[in-house]
Amino acid sequence: MNFPAVRMRRMRRDAFSRALMREHTLLPSDLIMVAFVIDGEGKREGIPSMPGVERVSIDGLLELAGECVRLGVPALALFPSPGPAAKSEDAAEAWNPQGLMQRATRALKAKYPDLGLIGDVALDPYTTHGQDGLIDENGYVMNEPTVEALIKMSLAQAEAGMDFVAPSDMMDGRIGAIREALEQAGYIHTRILAYSAKYASSFYGPFRDAVGSAASLGKGNKHTYQMDIGNSDEALREVELDIAEGADAVMVKPGLPYLDVLRRVKDAFGVPTFVYQVSGEYAMLKAAALNGWLNERAVVLETLTAFKRAGADAILTYYALDAARWLRE
């Protein structure tokens, strides 16, 4: 049957029928806020490449967490931006029980026990060279020694009350190793969000400014562990391994340039699948908005809805609080 029996515009004619046929709707409960924490008190630092995003000390983090709770954003993903004194060759500050992440976690859990907390597990904020792992004399990131460090980091976070540890490092076998260590230590409820399909993307630049790894990394890159941007079968293999090793949720990162990967992952495995709208995506949208070239609210909500349509169950985004506010208006 064809035109005029089929008129696709009939259902689009009125708001009520558009609402009824809408397949995907964005909710505040789909969103995960991303925050950068720094040492000190009453401190806020702007990030030049991410206007509107600040690094905050723990007191400011508590305010941010309060906003999440008030707006119905269920979780906060936490990234540390430790000072130069916390950086070393072996990244030992990452698992200091009194380290920045651990103190932030305890403070957040004490005040907002029901807000989900997701802790970044990777060494880049803590290494002098800005790589996500430990390097050998040639600068190559060593897999097993790095996994041992990530285990210590995960245990320290779990001990502090972290709900999700989220390894963003792309070492082989780290999900299984972390899972086994958590079980053995009795942290049977600590979830693992695996950055499974994490690409060697150039969209992470502003983040590296924010956590202070850009200067350490210098001309270095992460191509020996993050995925090649031309691949998507490989993403399915990564996800399959992480699920087998005990991941509770998997992630595709970055977001908008990788919607095809997101859809393939969700179709192939049907497990909780998260996506990360990364710093460079935020920077693009914000820059266009500040220039008056795009309607910020409309395009942000459009990108976030696109993630849901492509199969995402949850979205990490620097826009989480803004989006939740807009959705509530």
Options 87, 94, 95, 132; binder of ligand PBG; rule CB under 6 A: 132
Report CA-CA distances (Å) from 294 to 221, 223, 284, 288, 327: 32, 33, 10, 6, 18
Catalytic residue among 43, 219, 222, 253: 253
Per CB under 6 A, the list member of 35, 56, 122, 158 interacting with ligand PBG is: 122
Eight-class DSSP state of 84:
G
C-beta contacts of 282-286 below 8 A and 24+ residues apart: 282/50, 282/53, 282/206, 282/317, 282/318, 282/319, 283/49, 283/50, 283/205, 283/206, 285/319, 286/50, 286/51, 286/52
Q: Could you say which residues in the range 71-90 bind ligand PBG, by CB under 6 A? A: none
**Minimum CB separation from ligand PBG for residue 18, in Å?**
33
198 is catalytic: yes
If the CB atoms of residues 18 and 131 are measured against ligand PBG, the closer one turns out to be: 131
4 prior amide bond cis, ω within 30: yes
Query: Residue ranges of the alpha helices (H) in 37-93?
Result: 58-71
Amino acid 243 reads I
Nearer to ligand PBG, 185 or 220 (CB): 220
Closest separation between CB of residue 296 and ligand PBG, Å? 18
Which member of 30, 93, 124, 322 binds ligand PBG (CB under 6 A)? 124
Helical H runs in the chain? 9-12, 15-21, 58-71, 100-111, 143-160, 174-184, 205-210, 214-217, 233-245, 259-269, 279-290, 296-309, 320-328
Q: How far is Cα 226 from Cα 228, in angstroms, rounded to an integer?
A: 7
Among 164, 187, 204, 319, binds ligand PBG (CB under 6 A): 204
- The nearer residue to ligand PBG, 169 or 322, going by C-beta atoms, is 169
Residue 267 Cβ, how far from ligand PBG at the closest point, in Å?
A: 25
Q: Residue 135 and residue 129: Cα distance in Å, rounded?
A: 9
Interface residue with ligand PBG among 49, 168, 190, 273 (CB under 6 A) is 168
- Cα–chain-centroid distance for residue 129? 22
Task: Confirm or reject binding of residue 216 to ligand PBG (CB under 6 A).
Answer: no
Residues 256-285 that bind ligand PBG (CB under 6 A): 278-279
Stretch that binds ligand PBG, among 64-72, 90-98, 201-209, 267-275 (CB under 6 A): 201-209
d(CA 107, CA 103): 6
Tell me the closest approach of the beta carbon of residue 293 to ligand PBG, in angstroms.
22
Q: Which is nearer to ligand PBG, 17 or 202 (CB)?
A: 202
Nearer residue to ligand PBG within complex by CB, 230 or 292: 230
The smaller minimum CB distance to ligand PBG, of residues 42 and 323, is found at: 323
Number of other CB atoms surrounding residue 53 within 10 Å: 21
The answer to whether 302 is annotated as binding is: no
Asked about 253 being catalytic, the answer comes back as yes
| φ, ψ (nearest 5 deg) of residue 24 | -135, 130
Q: Phi and psi (nearest 5°) for 195?
A: -75, 90
Task: Quote the least distance from Cβ 319 to ligand PBG, whole Å.
Answer: 12
Binding residues vs ligand PBG (CB under 6 A): 120, 122, 124, 132, 168-169, 204, 207-208, 222, 278-279
Residue ranges of the binding site for Mg(2+) = 238
